């Protein structure tokens, strides 16, 4: 038998797949067949090249794609490049190499590396987001959203990285620092483009229920959307003329009245309010501020602008700064007056930008009250304390009239943030928190002092970037016409290549006169182009649609093909995209659905995330640690099939796991054994029911692939090979066994599988064969006759699975009338159980 020369085998079969265009799917004819769209998250073609983490997901999706093809589906399995982005631009700034040049080079490396692993991609559908033929449609999508009021420009306080000279999205700010360069982020007010994703908050939340996604990812999305149900409570502020004019406190003839709504999820704590606090930027602050406080208020507001949202909303333990406005607000139910403050821990753009302070039941409020000497009133007590107090009254100290009131008087120097039972809360005293929330909401509503309100934490998506290497935003500004969308026939708005893209704080595109200075498409007067580019998440959140019809010049996809392939049946990629990418893609899909451009509301029906591949030392792979594994070396030395098998054998697909050279050698040995055995005529001497073993393996491998348990599927293949090598069997059985083995192996190790298939005398490719099916009767576990005894006497025999548990066998035995009549009315003192053979009940 020939040596297992993986290089030769890989080249031979990769060439043949390519030449016969095996993995290209054409629509003609396919449109009536059942389809399966299996997608990988496309990579950013970094200068570092492919990481061994990439092929983990790619191998899994390839196994499913290959199995589906063998099951008779038309399979769309594409690959492309998330090619715009900062690293290429930063590299250009450092080295002078144009981003288009370095990106093209990186793509070439990635493509070569990915191809070397024998994935069954339809390369005729490759896309790159930096290609004008692609971003023309990114711009088209922008205009579509614009036309429907889903893209708008607004002045916004943005996170600004002074080192990268760019705006950062909230999620790119980690602990107040730029995700990329770790420089401290500051706030800056700029006109920015936004996508109105908040309009879809409720649908994005509700439709999660329809998806077969990891529960963890759904939970992260829910949390990000952050639906919060509560009440808006109006506090009235009466500013007397004395306060209005800053004159003597005796003149109170004319007075100004303001209604300040606050948003709370804890209406049950309403009687515990000891102050009201507004966000410093709240528009009513100047009007509310009393003369005596004006200076210190103005100073505090200026200080607030220097802080990022993260610094403002930090831990409760951090110092809670703030200043009083010198006015008071009226409690809507008690009429009591409480002071009004501003503090930066309250944010302007959530809820109403104002909060009722309840120090006894909220950590941040507590910290604030302690620092500023504000009162703390407990109005919710832990349920057990309330029941103890009640108990005391009934049984011991009859003289205590109202134990709940008494509890409230024991003001503790701490917070109680859980739900409980209301104390010291007027007519609501004694209610549980959840009852009280309803009753208080009703009371406020009927008194017209409040109303129920639902808020979402989700913010609109800030999409403009003051950078070069991205898709230009297709808008023109004209002095006479204002904001003018670029007419569709003028798309794409191409990135100029003569730009000095070194960052200065303004968009580099402004410096290309050719690009920036244009004629207004409406009136023809001199105008200028929007010079910001789009967040690369815009490019990468609709690419899965383009794969359906990647060469179409007239539409983003022809309706017929598009509706055939979409939505994606299986999406595989890293969990780091749990929130943004997946949420944005879902938003686009819904926006297109509303314009009747798609027939589906969710883009990815099934999602699976791979775990991270760590270095051999169990640490994250990084250049500085020197534990990075180079896929080229692994493929070169051990072969693509061994690498693919090992990626899948490492452990639970979704879990993080360390790389191991020993592990890959094990896979290599398995392949060598398969290469030596299949078609060799070599035979063992053991008697075994080979047919049953093969059927069981077909069942196991088929089911494990569906369940993403690739490691146990590979184990089953290894066991099968061992059994075959030991067994003696007739020629026909041997043929059936070997062919089944090769077919089952083929999605995992496609190159060697083709080679072995050929050796078995086939001219056709194994990847075009039919996936083997199993006979359920043969695949069933071995059945044996169990002996059931009562006190050592045979009373029954039962046919059960050889590995049935004691519990199972016991249940079956006791259910038999033959056994039951000897046991009835007696106590079972002991049970003797012999696996696969016998059960004996000993009675007293």
For ligand ANZ, the binding residues (CB under 6 A) are: 228, 263-266, 269, 346-347, 350-351, 353, 355-356, 358, 361-362, 455
Sign (positive or negative) of CA dihedral 465, 469, 471, 472: positive
Task: Please give the Cα distance from 685 to 733 (Å, whole number).
Answer: 14
> Which residue number, 449 or 577, has a Cβ lying nearer to ligand ANZ?
449
> Which residue number, 345 or 537, has a Cβ lying nearer to ligand ANZ?
345
CA of 371: how far to CAs of 311, 376, 698, in Å?
A: 18, 12, 69
Q: Smallest distance, Å, CB 271 to ligand ANZ?
A: 11
Q: Smallest distance, Å, CB 521 to Zn ion?
A: 8
> Which residue number, 57 or 474, has a Cβ lying nearer to Zn ion?
474
119 makes contact, choosing from ligand ANZ, Zn ion, none, with CB < 5 to 8 Å by partner type, with none
Task: Please give the Cα distance from 341 to 295 (Å, whole number).
Answer: 14
Q: Smallest distance, Å, CB 476 to Zn ion?
A: 8
> Which residue number, 333 or 798, has a Cβ lying nearer to ligand ANZ?
333
> Which residue number, 46 or 522, has a Cβ lying nearer to Zn ion?
522
Q: Is 642 exposed, middle or buried (0-12, 13-18, 19+ CB in 10 A)?
A: buried
Is the Cβ–Cβ distance between 155 and 97 less than 8 Å?
Answer: no
Task: Please give the Cα distance from 245 to 386 (Å, whole number).
Answer: 49
| Residue closest to 127 by CA, chosen among 61, 43, 24 | 43
Q: How many CB atoms lie within 10 A of CB 829?
A: 10
Q: Which residue has the tokens 């100029």?
A: 496
Q: Which residue has the tokens 């959530």?
A: 350
Task: Please give the Cα distance from 490 to 474 (Å, whole number).
Answer: 9
Q: Smallest distance, Å, CB 313 to Zn ion?
A: 43
478 makes contact, choosing from Zn ion, ligand ANZ, none, with CB < 5 to 8 Å by partner type, with Zn ion
HSE-up of residue 472 (Cα within 13 Å, Cβ side): 26
In total, the chain counts a number of residues equal to 844
> Which residue number, 359 or 550, has a Cβ lying nearer to ligand ANZ?
359
362 makes contact, choosing from ligand ANZ, Zn ion, none, with CB < 5 to 8 Å by partner type, with ligand ANZ
Task: Please give the Cα distance from 224 to 457 (Å, whole number).
Answer: 7
350 makes contact, choosing from Zn ion, ligand ANZ, none, with CB < 5 to 8 Å by partner type, with ligand ANZ
> Which residue number, 153 or 820, has a Cβ lying nearer to Zn ion?
153
HSE-up of residue 301 (Cα within 13 Å, Cβ side): 20
Helix axes 640-649, 54-70, angle to 10 degrees: 100
47 makes contact, choosing from Zn ion, ligand ANZ, none, with CB < 5 to 8 Å by partner type, with none
Q: Quick check: bond before 256 cis, omega within 30?
A: no
Q: Smallest distance, Å, CB 456 to ligand ANZ?
A: 9
265 makes contact, choosing from Zn ion, ligand ANZ, none, with CB < 5 to 8 Å by partner type, with ligand ANZ
Q: Which residues bind Zn ion (CB under 5 A)?
A: 478, 480-481, 520, 522-523
Q: Quick check: bond before 764 cis, omega within 30?
A: no
Q: Smallest distance, Å, CB 475 to Zn ion?
A: 12
Q: Smallest distance, Å, CB 275 to ligand ANZ?
A: 11
> Which residue number, 238 or 481, has a Cβ lying nearer to Zn ion?
481
Q: How far is CA 306 from the centre of its chain?
A: 32
Task: Please give the Cα distance from 358 to 274 (Å, whole number).
Answer: 6
> Which residue number, 275 or 653, has a Cβ lying nearer to ligand ANZ?
275
Q: Smallest distance, Å, CB 231 to ligand ANZ?
A: 9
522 makes contact, choosing from ligand ANZ, Zn ion, none, with CB < 5 to 8 Å by partner type, with Zn ion
Task: Please give the Cα distance from 35 to 69 (Å, whole number).
Answer: 9
815 makes contact, choosing from ligand ANZ, Zn ion, none, with CB < 5 to 8 Å by partner type, with none
> Which residue number, 109 or 228, has a Cβ lying nearer to ligand ANZ?
228
Task: Please give the Cα distance from 484 to 1 (Å, whole number).
Answer: 72
691 makes contact, choosing from ligand ANZ, Zn ion, none, with CB < 5 to 8 Å by partner type, with none
480 makes contact, choosing from Zn ion, ligand ANZ, none, with CB < 5 to 8 Å by partner type, with Zn ion
Q: Smallest distance, Å, CB 564 to ligand ANZ?
A: 43
Q: Smallest distance, Å, CB 372 to Zn ion?
A: 54
Measured in Å, how far apart are the chain's first and last C-alpha atoms?
Answer: 67
């Amino acid at each position: 038998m020939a040596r297992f020369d993986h290089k030769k085998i890989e080249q031979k079969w990769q060439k043949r797949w390519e030449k016969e265009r095996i993995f290209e799917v054409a629509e003609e004819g396919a449109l009536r067949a059942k389809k399966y769209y299996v997608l990988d998250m496309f990579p950013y073609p970094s200068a570092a090249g492919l990481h061994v983490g990439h092929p983990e997901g790619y191998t899994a999706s390839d196994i499913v794609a290959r199995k589906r093809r063998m099951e008779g589906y038309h399979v769309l399995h594409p690959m492309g490049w998330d090619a715009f982005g900062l690293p290429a631009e930063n590299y250009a700034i450092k080295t002078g190499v144009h981003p288009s040049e370095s990106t093209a080079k990186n793509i070439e490396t990635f493509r070569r590396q990915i191809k070397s692993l024998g994935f069954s991609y339809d390369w005729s559908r490759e896309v790159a987001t930096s290609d004008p033929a692609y971003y023309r449609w990114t711009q088209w999508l922008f205009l579509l959203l614009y036309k429907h009021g889903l893209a708008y420009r607004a002045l916004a306080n943005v996170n600004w990285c002074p080192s990268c000279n760019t705006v950062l999205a909230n999620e790119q700010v980690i602990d107040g620092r730029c995700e990329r360069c770790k420089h401290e982020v500051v706030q800056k007010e700029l006109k920015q483009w936004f996508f109105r994703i908040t309009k879809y908050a409720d649908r994005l939340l509700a439709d999660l229920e329809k998806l077969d996604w990891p529960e963890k990812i759904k939970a992260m999305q829910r949390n990000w959307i952050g639906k919060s149900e509560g009440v808006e409570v109006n506090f009235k502020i009466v500013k007397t003329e004395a306060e209005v004019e800053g004159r003597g406190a005796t003149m109170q003839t004319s007075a100004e009245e303001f209604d300040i709504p606050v948003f709370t999820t804890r209406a049950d704590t309403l009687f515990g309010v000891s102050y009201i606090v507004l966000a410093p930027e709240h528009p009513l602050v100047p009007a509310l501020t009393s003369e005596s406080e004006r200076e210190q208020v103005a100073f505090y507001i200026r200080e607030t602008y220097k802080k990022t949202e993260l610094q403002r909303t930090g831990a409760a333990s951090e110092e809670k700064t703030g200043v009083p406005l010198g006015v008071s607000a009226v409690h809507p139910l008690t009429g009591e007056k409480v002071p009004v403050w501003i503090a930066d821990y309250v944010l302007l753009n959530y809820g109403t930008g104002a909060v009722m302070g309840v120090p006894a039941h909220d950590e941040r409020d507590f910290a604030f009250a302690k620092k500023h000497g504000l009162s703390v009133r407990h109005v919710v007590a832990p349920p057990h304390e309330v029941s103890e107090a009640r108990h005391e009254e009934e049984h011991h100290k009859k003289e205590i009239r109202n134990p709940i009131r008494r509890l409230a008087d024991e003001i503790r120097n701490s917070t109680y943030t859980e739900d409980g039972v209301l104390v010291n809360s007027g007519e609501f005293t004694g209610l549980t928190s959840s009852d009280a929330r309803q009753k208080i909401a009703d009371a406020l509503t009927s008194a017209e002092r409040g109303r129920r309100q639902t808020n979402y934490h989700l913010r609109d998506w800030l999409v403009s970037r003051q950078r070069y290497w991205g898709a230009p935003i297709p808008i023109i500004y004209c002095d006479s016409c204002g904001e003018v969308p670029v007419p569709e026939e003028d798309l794409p708005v191409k990135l100029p290549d003569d730009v000095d893209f070194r960052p200065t704080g303004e968009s580099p595109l402004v410096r290309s006169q050719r690009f920036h200075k244009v004629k207004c498409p409406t009136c023809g007067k001199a105008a200028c182009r929007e010079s910001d580019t789009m967040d690369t998440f815009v490019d990468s959140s609709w690419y899965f649609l383009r794969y359906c019809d990647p060469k179409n010049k007239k539409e983003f996809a022809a309706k017929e093909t598009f509706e055939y392939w979409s939505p994606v049946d299986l999406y595989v990629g890293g969990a780091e995209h749990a929130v943004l990418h997946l949420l944005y893609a879902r938003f686009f899909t819904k926006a297109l659905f509303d314009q009747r451009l798609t027939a589906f509301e969710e883009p990815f029906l099934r999602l699976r995330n791979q775990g991270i591949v760590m270095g051999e030392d169990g640490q994250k792979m990084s250049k500085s640690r020197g534990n990075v594994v180079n896929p080229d070396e692994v493929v070169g030395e051990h072969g693509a099939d061994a690498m693919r098998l090992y990626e899948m054998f490492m452990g639970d697909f979704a879990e993080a796991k360390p790389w191991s050279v020993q592990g890959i050698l094990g896979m290599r040995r398995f392949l060598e054994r398969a290469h030596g055995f299949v078609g060799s005529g070599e035979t063992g001497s053991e008697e075994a029911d080979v047919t049953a073993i093969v059927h069981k393996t077909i069942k196991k491998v088929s089911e494990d692939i569906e369940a993403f348990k690739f490691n146990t599927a590979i184990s089953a293949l290894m066991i099968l090979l061992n059994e075959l090598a030991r067994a003696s069997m007739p020629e026909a059985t041997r043929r059936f066994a070997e062919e089944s083995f090769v077919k089952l192996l083929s999605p995992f190790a496609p190159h060697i599988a083709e080679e072995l298939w050929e050796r078995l005398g086939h001219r056709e490719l194994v990847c075009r064969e039919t996936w083997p099916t199993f006979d359920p009767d043969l695949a069933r576990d071995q059945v044996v006759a169990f002996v059931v005894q009562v006190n050592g006497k045979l009373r029954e025999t039962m046919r059960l699975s050889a590995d049935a548990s004691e519990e199972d066998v016991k249940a079956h035995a006791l259910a038999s009338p033959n056994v039951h009549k000897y046991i009835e009315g007696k106590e079972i003192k002991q049970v003797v159980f012999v696996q696969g053979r016998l059960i004996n009940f000993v009675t007293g």
